[in-house]
Chain A
Amino acid sequence: MNIIETENLSFVYGQGTPFEKTANDRLNIQIKEGEFVGIIGHTGSGKSTLVQMLNGLIRPTSGTIRLEGTDIWQSPKEIRKIRFKVGLVFQYPEYQLFEETVEKDIAYGPRNMGLSEGDIRERVISAARFSGLRSELLSKSPFDLSGGEKRRAAIAGVIAMDPDVLILDEPTAGLDPAGRDVLLAQISQYHKERKNTVLLVSHSMEDIAKTADRILVMNKGRAEMLEDTRTVFSRGEELERMGLRVPQITKIMSGLQKRGFDIPSGILTVEQAASVLAAYRGRSL
């Protein structure tokens, strides 16, 4: 079943002014319930506008977005409810922390939803667990945390609203390799346990390759591809024309393929590649 469907979804900045710019151009996208979709595209391709439209922060210039079959702008006064269902984690989310304690900050979303104190407490604890935040940090001031911990506290603030769709915009930007790997693993784990839909916007093809079931490729405001990860990354040349790249490992394997070695395309991880190549050598020896 499709949880999100868009129909001719468009957004134009500064309509009617000389600065008019089409950020999204007639997008028709279907996202299935429970899938993990990676969104790629270079800066200015319309990714940010799209994700902000999906959770009702900006209103489409034309076209519709349906969440579980209903137009999200059916009653504009109720748009806040959509934001609780489609959680959006912005880039560098740690800059939005403001409360005295981490616990209160994570509780901000659930409190806005009007939940009871007991429910809020429960949400906070499970969100902290999902984002890998140690429970002794909950009583600390968010401004005393380390960079990585702040990031996780901010993500927990969105997870605590228990959204059916979680959108993360560049959640690993600026983290070091260790921090990045841990955070990605947490997100995958959350997706597996909670079984909800996750949309991950990233510039890192390696991150996308590790996590996503399908990939949405954005280019010049249009949705160029929406297909499973292997298929998208086996179309490396098309991606390169859009100024995007594929993971290094995928590139190595397709390079070998081009030199006449009979190996499958769309290899995504070093582990896969190693076993494919070892098997190939075993056969030819």
Chain B
Amino acid sequence: MKDFIKVENVSFRYDSNDNANKYVLNDISLNINKGEFVALLGHNGCGKSTMAKLLNAMLLPEKGKVFVNGLDTSEPDVSYDVRKTVGLVLQNPDNQLVASIVEEDVAFGPENLGIEPDEIRRRVDEALKAVDMYEYRAHAPYKLSGGQKQRVAIAGIIAMQPQCLVLDEPTAMLDPKGRDEVMATIKKLNREKGITIVLITHYMDEAVQADRVIVMDSGKILTQGSPREVFSEVELLKRHRLDVPQATELMYRLVGMGFPAESLPLDEDECIDRLSKILK
């Protein structure tokens, strides 16, 4: 389905009564299709997190509209339905778990939706299996690693059976192992369950794995496209103090030094292949 989520000319600022306040988002428009895996990139303060909260009606636009599955998020009484459709996972896993036992925490969302106990049980088990945390269902969250806690947080949202998952820097506080676990979980949910993913991150190696990358800067979209298209704009990204994968940067520099130009590689294997062909 096209235009599953539609953001139309949205402007937003915190505390709009104070006219001196700057707009965090400035006349921004974007579409997200159903089943897509989108990475939202940009440095701190560019408006990524605000965008995340607009997508599930935690915040409402000052100007413009956000539509989720055809629902206008600024209509009264739709926020509940919007949040059921678009689940939001936050950065710090410690601060989004409510209960002292893993499975009881995962049940929290479905319980709020007023679902029958047997159905909740089924959804909780399924969600925990989907994030590979089923065997930890009776554990206390504080004894888990960061990556495990974040996967429990994801399960807590999945159990509400949303069509879209928005993740606001879910790996920022994790170690490399935890990051890998969470990324694998996200990709699995996208591939196997067809859940639309909006991943907010500033790790380039994570953005590379998405179908589409949207780069934001000072409340606007700087550029967007497939990872290959976006990361080939090395100059633009560097000017806005954003990273590019080292593989891409190396090739970019070499092209500047007279190496034959082709599209730029995104990961190490591709880079090695490309270089061995050139150097032979």
Contact = CB atoms under 8 A, between A and B. Distances in A.
- Asked whether the complex places CB atoms of A and B closer than 8 A, the reply is yes
Interface of A: 42-43, 146-148, 173-179, 181, 203, 206, 243, 245, 247-249, 251-252, 255-256, 259, 261, 270-271, 273-274, 277-278, 280-281, 284
Given A178-B241, A280-B279, 16 more contacts: A42-B177, A43-B178, A146-B44, A176-B202, A177-B243, A181-B241, A249-B250, A252-B247, A252-B268, A252-B275, A261-B276, A270-B250, A270-B253, A277-B259, A277-B279, A278-B257
B249 to A, nearest CB: 5
B110 to A, nearest CB: 31
Interface stretch (B13-21, B100-108, B168-176): B168-176
Contacts of B271: 252
A43 B44 contact: no
Q: How large is the interface on B (under 10, 10 to 19, 20 to 34, 35 or more residues)?
A: 20 to 34
Contacts of A147: 44
B43 A177 contact: yes
A281 B278 contact: yes
Contact of A177 (B176, B178, B242): B242
Nearest to B267: A248
Contacts of B175: 42-43, 203
29 contacts: A43-B145, A43-B175, A147-B44, A173-B172, A174-B172, A176-B202, A177-B43, A177-B241, A178-B241, A181-B241, A203-B175, A243-B177, A247-B246, A248-B267, A251-B268, A252-B247, A252-B268, A252-B272, A261-B279, A270-B246, A271-B253, A274-B250, A274-B253, A274-B257, A277-B250, A278-B254, A278-B257, A278-B258, A284-B279
B194 interface: no
B245 interface: yes
A86 to B, nearest CB: 24
Contacts of A245: 176
Interface in B42-72: 43-45
B177 A256 contact: no
Given A42-B177, A203-B175, A252 B250 contact: yes
A247 B205 CA distance: 12
Contacts of B44: 146-148, 175-176, 179
A268 to B, nearest CB: 11
Label chain A's interface by main secondary structure. Answer: helix
Contact of A248 (B43, B173, B246): B246
Nearest to A259: B276
B246 A277 contact: no
B184 to A, nearest CB: 15
Nearest to A274: B253
A20 to B, nearest CB: 17
Most central of B173, B202, B269, B275 by chain A CB within 10 Å: B275
Interface in B231-253: 241-243, 245-247, 249-250, 253
Contacts of A274: 250, 253-254, 257
A173 B173 contact: yes
Name the residue in A146, A206, A248, A256 with the highest tally of chain B Cβ atoms < 10 Å from its Cβ.
A248
Contacts of B253: 270-271, 274
A174 B275 contact: no
A273 B275 CA distance: 12
A256 B247 CA distance: 13
A201 to B, nearest CB: 11
A255 B268 contact: yes
7 smallest CB-CB distances across A and B, nearest first, come from A178-B241, A176-B43, A255-B272, A248-B246, A274-B253, A177-B243, A249-B246
A252 B246 contact: yes
Contacts of B43: 176-179
B176 A203 contact: yes
A140 B115 CA distance: 50
A196 to B, nearest CB: 28
Contacts of A174: 172-173
B268 A256 contact: no
Contacts of B250: 249, 252, 270, 273-274, 277
Nearest to A280: B279
A252 B246 CA distance: 9
